[in-house]
Amino acid sequence: MMVRQALHEATQYLKQARCDNPRLDAEVLLMKAWEATPTQLFIRALDELPQKVHENFQDMLEQRYQRQPIAYITGCKEFWSRDFEVSPDVLIPRPETEHLIEEVLKCYPDQDAAYDFSEIGTGSGCIAITLACEYPHAKILATDISEKALDIARKNAAKHGVLKRIHFRQGDLYQAFPNDLSPLDILLSNPPYLSLQHMDDIEQELRYEPRIALTDQQDGLSLMRQILSGACRWLKPHGYCLVETGLGGLPETHKPLVLDHPYYDLAGILRGGLYHHKAL
Ligand code: GLN
């Protein structure tokens, strides 16, 4: 079958599954099946699709028809212009989480300093690894409750050459922190913040993602509250705690941890908050 025709049929097929961007999905999957760049796909539009590639493409289309996320089918997702391996053991990195990186860069513009950072619930490792790449002298502790997620994060850290500067530890929230951890310049987290109620009407793709990375099974803020209320024990005086959030908003905190400012995504929606440790 001709490439152009295969793409047309695939698009129709994915439309039936009510995918949001059927044409784009079909192109991305065909590029993956053929290991082709967008330009190569374009110039091959009138070529015959090789049999083997066609078979791989069909397999991927069937997965997508079941509304599996593209990133789980291709096994990778871009974050802050770098590629990360992903699997159903980790949350798929979201573009809006890049705002978290922007906030760190605004807090600490000197990228050559030797900061101590820590991330709770690292998942694919995209946040911790991006920070390790952007701050080549920083030391980072990255934790997750899931050992399987940490396996993926370690692979991603190795791929980006920062495995030596990130200490990965398994455990629930602060239980994963070693007692002798150096005081932190910034503690950050993109915790599970969807409420249990919200989980009833999530889109089909989200059902493939790890539930423990999406929801606290309560009001969506319980883990964030625990992170914020424990933060000062680990922060330097004047260190920061940065969290991503969703519809639940930002929890109140008590002195000495005070909200410095909320931040918003490109659509103007509240996305997170930067809290400041105002120690005397
Ligand atoms: N950002 C995800 C979503 O709304 C939720 C991930 C999370 O809870 N941290 O789809």
Average pLDDT, the chain: 97
pLDDT at 280 over 80: no
**Looking at ligand 1, which residue's alpha carbon is closest to its atom 5?**
214
Q: CB of 138 closer than 6 A to ligand 1?
A: no
Q: From the CA of 217, how far away is ligand 1's center (Å)?
A: 13
Which pLDDT score, from 0 to 100, does residue 28 have? Answer: 97
Instruction: Name the band, by pLDDT with cuts 50, 70 and 90, for residue 238.
Output: very high
Output the six-digit token pair for 61: 């289309």
Which pLDDT score, from 0 to 100, does residue 140 have? Answer: 98
Q: CB of 192 closer than 6 A to ligand 1?
A: yes
The helix-helix angle for 51-65 and 3-16 (nearest 10°) equals 10
Q: How far, in Å, CA of 71 to CA of 77, rounded?
A: 6
pLDDT at 264 over 90: yes
C-alpha separations of 206 from 82, 130, 182 in Å = 22, 24, 36
Averaged pLDDT for residues 91-103: 97
Q: CB of 195 closer than 6 A to ligand 1?
A: no
Which distant-in-sequence residues (6+ apart) come within 8 Å of 210 by Cβ?
88, 89, 90, 91, 146, 149
Amino acid (one-letter) located at 208: Y
Q: CB of 248 closer than 6 A to ligand 1?
A: no
Q: CB of 190 closer than 6 A to ligand 1?
A: yes
pLDDT at 166 over 90: yes
Which pLDDT score, from 0 to 100, does residue 247 have? Answer: 93
pLDDT at 246 over 90: yes
Amino acid (one-letter) located at 53: V
Instruction: Name the band, by pLDDT with cuts 50, 70 and 90, for residue 54.
Output: very high
Which pLDDT score, from 0 to 100, does residue 279 have? Answer: 83
Q: CB of 10 closer than 6 A to ligand 1?
A: no
> What are the backbone dihedrals phi and psi of residue 174, each rounded to the nearest 5 degrees, phi first?
-75, -10
Residue in this structure with the two tokens 């967008």, named with its chain if needed: 38
Report the atom number in ligand 1 closest to the C-alpha of 202.
10
The pTM of this model reads 0.95
- For residue 181, the 8-state DSSP code is P
Q: Among 94, 207, 208, name the best residue to mutate to test ligand 1's pocket (greatest count of ligand atoms within 8 A of Cβ).
A: 94
Q: For the residues of 43-108, what is the DSSP string, one character each?
A: HTTTSBPPHHHHHHHHHHHHHHHTT--HHHHHTEEEETTEEEE--TTSPPP-GGGHHHHHHHHHH-
Q: From the CA of 100, how far away is ligand 1's center (Å)?
A: 13
**Looking at ligand 1, which residue's alpha carbon is closest to its atom 9?**
192
User: What's the N-to-C CA distance of the chain in angstroms?
Assistant: 71
Which pLDDT score, from 0 to 100, does residue 78 have? Answer: 97
Which pLDDT score, from 0 to 100, does residue 19 have? Answer: 96
